Amino acid sequence: MNRFLSLGALEPGEIRELVALAGRLEARPEPAALAGRVLGLLFFDPSLRTLASMQSAMARLGGSSFVISPGRGSWALETRDGVVMDGAAAEHVREALPVLAGYADVLGVRAFASLSDLEADLADEPMATFARLVDRPLVNLESAIDHPCQALGDWKAMDDLGVPPAGRLVLTWANHPRPLPLAVPAAVAEMGALRGMEVVVVRPEPYAFPPALSARVARAAARGGGSFRESAERDEALAGAAVVYAKSWAASERYGDGAAESERRRALADWCVDEPWFARAPAARLFHCLPVRRNVVVADRVLDGPRSAVVHQAHQRLWAQMAVLHRMLAGRGNG
Amino acid sequence: MNRFLSLGALEPGEIRELVALAGRLEARPEPAALAGRVLGLLFFDPSLRTLASMQSAMARLGGSSFVISPGRGSWALETRDGVVMDGAAAEHVREALPVLAGYADVLGVRAFASLSDLEADLADEPMATFARLVDRPLVNLESAIDHPCQALGDWKAMDDLGVPPAGRLVLTWANHPRPLPLAVPAAVAEMGALRGMEVVVVRPEPYAFPPALSARVARAAARGGGSFRESAERDEALAGAAVVYAKSWAASERYGDGAAESERRRALADWCVDEPWFARAPAARLFHCLPVRRNVVVADRVLDGPRSAVVHQAHQRLWAQMAVLHRMLAGRGNG
Amino acid sequence: MNRFLSLGALEPGEIRELVALAGRLEARPEPAALAGRVLGLLFFDPSLRTLASMQSAMARLGGSSFVISPGRGSWALETRDGVVMDGAAAEHVREALPVLAGYADVLGVRAFASLSDLEADLADEPMATFARLVDRPLVNLESAIDHPCQALGDWKAMDDLGVPPAGRLVLTWANHPRPLPLAVPAAVAEMGALRGMEVVVVRPEPYAFPPALSARVARAAARGGGSFRESAERDEALAGAAVVYAKSWAASERYGDGAAESERRRALADWCVDEPWFARAPAARLFHCLPVRRNVVVADRVLDGPRSAVVHQAHQRLWAQMAVLHRMLAGRGNG
């Protein structure tokens, strides 16, 4: 495996093997599997879990890592082709990415959505560029429209918690002070569909998935044996859910426009996941990718109660990413 | 040992064992003692010595570390309970701390004093919260009112330099452009008292220790066989000192108010430790936790002269923290 | 070797040995050579390649590293002697450098030119101070007037690419939106001279090397068997070049004055290296230390074409620095 850019690029059986490998590495550490190997981490955007869990994952396999953050200790990087670089960016990714890849055995890159050009974000343009520039193993640490490490960890978390393969996964839009990318909703819906789940996205109408994303999830459902539909009927959707996955995202219309979103969301403050939501799904677990804004996205009593799986979810990032790194590098000759 | 939050939480004998362990690790490295283990470092506030010495300590024991800095590559974290998180903080410590602890075998956290609420700072509220949220081993890397790594390193430095167990430790207030936390003064006075020293805090009246802190140091003196008193008579206090420990801190009245402190300190510019201070303590060593503002807190000729122990002190942080990590993790099963 | 501050401080034969060692470490890794050793990195200024390649170099030799960045997670450091430190800087390098050196087996420091005081920059004052303050091995990661890691990597890159020892190295000034330090031009010209090359610096008259720098390169040429001259005749200089090394730098007059440079450079926009430059040197390779501003310093078609060596150059930093670290530490007792 030389690329881990989207869960959808793998067959469901390959994903199950990765989840199984994650479980084996959790149960039986391999502290020397990647001795002498180096993970390069390039963070265009902030991180807490991903940074910590990637560095810990590499260390627990015996390897090392370095971190480069454009704009915070390194200069801004240009991603557009053909520009006259007389502005803020001192270096182009056409140099920076191959250079960093040469110092590492595997490269992980985070580059959030533009939140200004929906088409470009749906096409995952910068990550596609990075993949063309780098021939070493490459891991997507959240791109414009994907977050496969999150999705893989969530799959494992569902397995751990006994969520049935064909159970209902309700991905619900939630309120938030700002418009947020579609990356996690896309990755999670696709993951559920590939896992064979009944995926229901529930959201106010303005937050309907863009058609290209809906088509992607539907394809995943066809491959994985799951199903996919969207709904604006919250109560109906939540009934019988095995997992309620809370997440905010930006509307497709006036995409990323903070003022428009604020206006629209004024009437949507009740889209804060709270205990009454679970009336017809009493055993459902609450998932969220984190960071979560308490009492805006999810109420305290849900996050502090027994149905919350969010910390367990986050912990699975460690083992999931160890599996990815192990699959990419273990047994291969040195860089 | 699962917590290293305050030197005062340990018995004097336990502290002596840690100092002895630090000395053994300095003399006889154990480069594989913590192989495969991961130290998570969470810095809410800036650092030079603590960051470098913790990472070096872990590396010299064969382990690895990662660093998360809210506001610098990670988002701001909320610490208050029950708030509607629609402001700057994107994540609550109720999620962030358990998540990070799950990626690490031991967690170190730095969170400075508020310098706005003296009662809360004296109660060390955020660190107490962190301790409730984390069940993995936890190290205080300077909290609102404590800095046990500094205190432990200073104890070792005094042993190294032959400072008598019952010698006089004069902790003197010094000038500074800004109000500073009480964490180091508290930790150092308590350390001296536990070590059995005659601890004298000398300061202008407005800088008297708050009563709760005085009581804490007095209790330590009772346990350690030392003594504790405060004085505004600088010359008298300095006479016969074995160690003069310079440090600035904020007054309790109008606590943390920069304007009030500036006004008050205008008359206190001679509280810059200089050679004449040592007239009646010619053999006394000069300690400071660093960073030190030259010619404001301590004069150049003292810092550059033979009585300065500040670099040696700082170096002991490495061995002291290795001892803490070793005691917490060596011989325990993997995470 | 306890200092790696300037390539010119070494004999040409010593440099050739380092380049050979770099090649051996590339061909035959020594993943345990520096096990248990710690590299301390102090970055006063931003970095991408140097940070990543130093951390990777240390990791690939079995060691670890930590990073301190004044102003980004650590406070500002004072470098001037004798000042009353009541301003922005909380700590003096007279404390910080020895303290950090004590946590590390080798220290690497980056501190860019002032771009305000040409004499001080030519004298490399801060780095000279650091060298006085630190007795552990010390590596210059770019100072006011030198960048020996870059120069050593470039030497290896030229060897790799078959650039003849006595070939013509044309170091050409290039346009840029801002005045830049002389560190890389100085290090590269000296490197070429020491390697025995015919070094020609081609630049508009205002960008003539300051006399002290010209003298330094001339001395290197005498030692290395190369030659050195400057020219404003671009076509003549480029004819027959084996390597065209593009780099912008500040003029000596009104040194570092952004407004003066902007005014002056308005007429120099054609100093962007482009394919027609190579009409009389068709086989010449294009070198640049990176970061490079595309279509300002070098045109896209040159950087994307077969004559560009810039990524290969950058990759050699890894092996070159491994050689430096290996020479400094391997076989020596633990710190």
For range A199-213, the mean pLDDT: 98
Structure tokens at A97: 């990415």
Closest residue, chain B, to A313 (C-alpha): B99
Taking only the tens place, the pLDDT of each residue in B267-300 is 999 999 999 999 999 999 999 999 999 999 999 9
Do A66 and C49 make contact, defined as CB atoms within 8 angstroms? Answer: no
Q: How many CB pairs under 8 A join A and B?
A: 98
The yes-or-no verdict on residue A335 having pLDDT over 50 is no
3-state secondary structure of A51: helix
Q: How confident is the model at residue A333 (pLDDT cuts 50, 70, 90)?
A: low
pLDDT of C333: 56
Closest CA to A19 of A332, A322, A329: A322
Domains and CATH numbers, chain B: 3-147+317-329 (3.40.50.1370), 162-308 (3.40.50.1370)
CA distance A197 to chain B (A): 27
pLDDT of A331: 77
Sign of CA pseudo-dihedral A156, A158, A162, A168:
negative
**Average pLDDT in chain C:** 97
Q: How confident is the model at residue B335 (pLDDT cuts 50, 70, 90)?
A: very low
Do A95 and C314 make contact, defined as CB atoms within 8 angstroms? Answer: yes
- Alpha-carbon radius of gyration of chain A: 20
Inter-residue contact A240 to A280 (CB < 8 Å):
yes
Structure tokens at A52: 């910590």
Do A92 and C294 make contact, defined as CB atoms within 8 angstroms? Answer: yes
Taking only the tens place, the pLDDT of each residue in B47-63 is 999 999 999 999 999 99
Do A300 and B73 make contact, defined as CB atoms within 8 angstroms? Answer: no
Sheet holding C64-68, edge to edge: C3-4, C138-140, C106-110, C38-43, C64-68
Q: Which chains contact A through at least 3 pairs of Cβ atoms less than 8 Å apart?
A: B, C
For range A265-285, the mean pLDDT: 97
Sign of CA pseudo-dihedral C331, C332, C333, C335:
negative
Closest residue, chain A, to B37 (C-alpha): A60
Closest CA to C231 of C179, C189, C290: C189
Burial track B255-264 (b if 16+ CB lie within 10 A, e otherwise): bbbeebbeeb
Closest residue, chain B, to C86 (C-alpha): B177
The yes-or-no verdict on residue B319 having pLDDT over 60 is yes
Inter-residue contact A34 to A334 (CB < 8 Å):
no
One-character DSSP codes across B198-259: EEEEE--GGGPPPHHHHHHHHHHHHHHT-EEEEES-HHHHHTT-SEEEEE----STTTT-HH
pLDDT of B135: 96
pLDDT of B331: 76
Task: Give, in order, the Cα–Cα distances in Å from A318 to each of A1, A47, B204.
Answer: 18, 14, 53
Do B90 and A291 make contact, defined as CB atoms within 8 angstroms? Answer: yes
Which of C43, C177, C290 lies at the smallest CB-CB distance from A91?
Answer: C290
Q: Which residues contact A124 (CB under 8 A, 6 or more apart)?
A: A5, A6, A143, A144, A145, A146
The yes-or-no verdict on residue B334 having pLDDT over 90 is no
Quickly count helices (H) and strands (E) in chain A: 12, 12
CA distance B49 to chain A (A): 19
Taking only the tens place, the pLDDT of each residue in C129-175 is 999 999 999 999 999 999 999 999 999 999 999 999 999 999 999 99
Residue C235 CB neighbours (<10 A): 12
Interface residues on B facing A, Cβ-Cβ cutoff 8 A? 35-36, 38, 40, 63-64, 66, 68, 70, 72-75, 78, 82-87, 90-92, 94-96, 98-100, 102-104, 334
Which of C46, C62, C295 lies at the smallest CB-CB distance from A85?
Answer: C295
Q: How confident is the model at residue C335 (pLDDT cuts 50, 70, 90)?
A: very low
Do C38 and B49 make contact, defined as CB atoms within 8 angstroms? Answer: no
DSSP 8-class letter at B44: S
State the Cα–Cα distance between residues C302 and C284, nearest whole angstrom: 11
Interface test with B, best of C34, C64, C109, C329 (most B CBs within 10 A): C64
pLDDT of B87: 96
Inter-residue contact A181 to A121 (CB < 8 Å):
yes
All residues of chain B having their beta carbon less than 8 Å from the beta carbon of residue A55 are 64, 66
Taking only the tens place, the pLDDT of each residue in A289-315 is 999 999 999 999 999 999 999 999 999
Could you give the maximum distance between any two Cα atoms of chain B, in Å?
A: 59
CA distance A102 to chain B (A): 22
pLDDT of B333: 56
**Average pLDDT in chain B:** 97
All residues of chain A having their beta carbon less than 8 Å from the beta carbon of residue B134 are none
DSSP 8-class letter at C305: S
Taking only the tens place, the pLDDT of each residue in B59-108 is 999 999 999 999 999 999 999 999 999 999 999 999 999 999 999 999 99
All residues of chain C having their beta carbon less than 8 Å from the beta carbon of residue B51 are 66, 68, 73-74
DSSP 8-class letter at B284: P
The yes-or-no verdict on residue A3 having pLDDT over 90 is yes
Length of chain C: 335
* Burial class of residue C132 in the structure, from the number of CB atoms within 10 Å of its CB (0-12 exposed, 13-18 middle, 19+ buried): exposed
Structure tokens at C146: 């030198």
Taking only the tens place, the pLDDT of each residue in B121-175 is 999 999 999 999 999 999 999 999 999 999 999 999 999 999 999 999 999 999 9
Do B95 and A314 make contact, defined as CB atoms within 8 angstroms? Answer: yes
Closest residue, chain C, to B71 (C-alpha): C73
Which of B64, B291, B315 lies at the smallest CB-CB distance from C90?
Answer: B291
Do C102 and B314 make contact, defined as CB atoms within 8 angstroms? Answer: yes
DSSP 8-class letter at C275: G
> At A217, which helix (H) or strand (E)?
helix A211-224
Do C314 and A99 make contact, defined as CB atoms within 8 angstroms? Answer: yes
pTM, two decimal places: 0.97
CA distance A111 to chain C (A): 17
Closest residue, chain C, to A107 (C-alpha): C52
**Average pLDDT in chain A:** 97
Sequence-ordered alpha helix ranges (H) in chain C: 12-27, 49-60, 93-103, 118-122, 125-133, 148-160, 183-194, 211-224, 234-238, 258-265, 300-303, 310-329
State the Cα–Cα distance between residues A20 and B1, nearest whole angstrom: 34
Percent of chain A at pLDDT above 90? 99
Interface test with C, best of B56, B297, B301 (most C CBs within 10 A): B56
CA atoms within 13 A on the CB side of B261: 20
Inter-residue contact A36 to C30 (CB < 8 Å):
no
Closest residue, chain C, to A104 (C-alpha): C56
Taking only the tens place, the pLDDT of each residue in B32-46 is 999 999 999 999 999
Which of A35, A72, A91 lies at the smallest CB-CB distance from C291?
Answer: A91
Do C314 and A66 make contact, defined as CB atoms within 8 angstroms? Answer: no
pLDDT of C331: 77
Structure tokens at B306: 């033979």
Do C291 and A95 make contact, defined as CB atoms within 8 angstroms? Answer: yes
Do C291 and A83 make contact, defined as CB atoms within 8 angstroms? Answer: no
